């Protein structure tokens, strides 16, 4: 019913963190000019979007300037 797990010696567990493979992975293929241009365009679009959002959002974040005189309704003048 229950299967016993094999015990692992402690020294094996301790050395597992220091184990390094002597097999080196293959070098990454160089990106082509079109791939670099595409990634540059994507970066440019992201930066332009953030700059546009900042420019469009600044008027909403600016504090409102109160007018020099307070506006009153005609009903307030009748009193």
Could you report the per-residue pLDDT of 33-45, keeping only the tens digit for each?
Answer: 999 999 999 999 9
Q: What is the CA radius of gyration of the chain?
A: 34
Residues of the chain with pLDDT > 90, as a percent, come to: 37
52 vs 29: CA distance, rounded Å:
35
Task: Express each pLDDT in 6-50 by its tens digit.
Answer: 666 565 555 555 666 778 889 999 999 999 999 999 999 999 999
What's the Cα-to-Cα distance from 47 to each of 19, 39, 40, 64, rounded to whole Å?
43, 12, 11, 28
Six token digits for residue 68? 């020099």
**pTM (two decimals):** 0.48
Confidence category of residue 66, pLDDT binned at 50, 70, 90: low
Six token digits for residue 57? 């959002």
């Amino acid at each position: 019913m229950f299967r016993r797990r094999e015990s692992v010696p402690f020294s094996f567990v301790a050395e597992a963190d220091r184990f390094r493979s002597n097999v080196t992975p293959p070098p990454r293929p160089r990106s082509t000019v079109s791939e670099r241009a595409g990634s540059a365009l994507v970066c440019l679009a992201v930066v332009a979007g953030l700059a546009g959002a900042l420019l469009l959002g600044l008027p909403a974040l600016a504090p409102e300037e109160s007018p020099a005189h307070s506006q009153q309704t005609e009903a307030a003048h009748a009193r």
